[in-house]
């Protein structure tokens, strides 16, 4: 008999929909307000009975979940569950890909425009009561935006910059597959060719052995001195010490990071003192956006209905 643990922050209408979707099945609602797998205490006696978890579980608790058949995560990334021996043998794992695209893309877009129009500089001047025009600004009209990561996040961001007149170029392993919002798709092996041509480099890559420090000191050196780098994928994709040096020596127009390596960023890291950097603490998606919460609930509800009817689950990773 299934026992469903629901950790999603639901409104009353959504909770009623989950109850209606699984009549006669025990459902336990223990919402995690900030979509953190470590929040909300789960009674030990419940762990061994859970067959379905709608919402991530702490990895250290998985050995106690001997009845688990399916876990639907809060996150688009599932790296913590992928190593051998971590996830229960035979259980299904599905991600939240598709829930975060709009929210993350809007955050990236806001950061990009702020850098292009020198808004952080003017905010600093406002604090000192200085009425002082700054230097030249940039436009997306006619700009080349290079997308490293052409999935849900990259596609949403591409549509926003394209609407402002940018030409969008995406790199991935399947250049024969068109991506909405991206004008050209090329093999990832052409990265070094495209970096010097880009006015903006937008990164939404997952973490894999191939993507760790893919933007290192050498590749940062390939960028135009007036280029802007944005990373909202995984912090490990950028060598943050090398980026700090490139920004300090003004080899880039600017950068925006919602993710860093390490994370949280230590108080003595040189990135904190880069005046041409916008730094946010991994907040582009998640529980701060009502849209994300509603999308997460809709995705989990659809997958629950699929699970109960024996259909294929969306975003299955295991």
At residue 77 the predicted structure's pLDDT band, cuts being 50, 70 and 90, is confident
Structure tokens belonging to residue 264: 């949280």
Sign of CA dihedral 217, 218, 224, 227: negative
Angstrom distance (rounded) from CA 100 to CA 156: 10
pLDDT at residue 41, rounded to an integer: 80
Angstrom distance (rounded) from CA 82 to CA 63: 14
Q: Which of 27-36, 46-55, 115-124, 128-137 has the lowest mean pLDDT?
A: 27-36
Rounded CA Rg of the chain:
22
List phi, psi (to 5°) of 206.
-75, 170
**Each residue's pLDDT tens digit, 192-220:** 999 999 999 999 999 999 999 999 999 99
pLDDT at residue 39, rounded to an integer: 63
Q: Which residues sit opposite 169 in a β-bridge?
A: 146, 184
Quote the pTM value. 0.92
At residue 6 the predicted structure's pLDDT band, cuts being 50, 70 and 90, is very high
Q: Is the peptide bond before 99 cis (omega within 30 degrees of 0)?
A: no
Q: Is the pLDDT score of 287 beyond 80?
A: no
**Each residue's pLDDT tens digit, 11-25:** 999 999 999 999 999
Cα of 79 vs its chain's centroid, Å: 13
128-156: average pLDDT: 97
Cα of 272 vs its chain's centroid, Å: 21
pLDDT at residue 124, rounded to an integer: 95
Residues designated as active site = 234, 263, 282
**Each residue's pLDDT tens digit, 105-135:** 999 999 999 999 999 999 999 999 999 999 9
80-96: average pLDDT: 92
pLDDT at residue 17, rounded to an integer: 98
């Amino acid at each position: 008999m299934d026992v469903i643990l629901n950790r999603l922050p639901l409104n009353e209408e959504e909770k009623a929909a989950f109850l209606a979707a699984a009549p006669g099945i025990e459902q336990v609602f223990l919402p995690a307000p900030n979509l953190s797998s470590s929040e909300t205490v789960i009674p030990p006696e419940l762990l061994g009975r859970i067959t379905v978890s709608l919402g991530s579980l702490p990895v250290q608790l998985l050995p106690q979940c001997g009845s688990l058949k399916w876990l639907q995560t809060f996150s688009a990334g599932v790296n913590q569950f992928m190593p051998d021996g971590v996830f229960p043998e035979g259980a299904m794992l599905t991600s939240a890909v598709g829930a975060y695209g709009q929210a993350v893309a809007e955050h990236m877009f806001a950061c990009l425009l702020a850098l292009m129009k020198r808004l952080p500089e003017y905010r600093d001047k406002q604090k000192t009561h200085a009425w002082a025009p700054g230097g030249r600004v940039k436009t997306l009209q006619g700009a080349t935006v290079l997308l490293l990561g052409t999935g849900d996040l990259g596609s949403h961001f591409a549509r926003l910059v394209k609407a402002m007149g940018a030409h969008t170029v995406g790199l991935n392993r399947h250049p024969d597959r068109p991506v909405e919002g991206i004008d050209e798709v090329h093999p990832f092996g052409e990265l070094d060719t495209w970096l010097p041509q880009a006015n903006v480099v937008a990164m939404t890559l997952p973490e894999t052995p191939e993507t760790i420090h893919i933007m290192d000191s050498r590749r940062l050196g390939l960028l135009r001195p007036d280029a802007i780098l944005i990373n909202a994928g995984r912090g490990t994709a950028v060598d943050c010490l090398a980026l700090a040096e490139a920004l300090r020596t003004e080899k880039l127009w600017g950068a925006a990071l919602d993710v860093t390596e390490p994370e949280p960023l230590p108080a003595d890291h040189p990135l904190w003192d880069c005046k041409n950097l916008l730094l946010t603490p991994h907040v582009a998606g998640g529980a701060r956006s009502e849209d994300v919460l509603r999308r997460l609930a809709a995705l989990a509800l659809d997958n629950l209905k699929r699970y109960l009817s024996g259909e294929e689950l969306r975003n299955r990773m295991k």
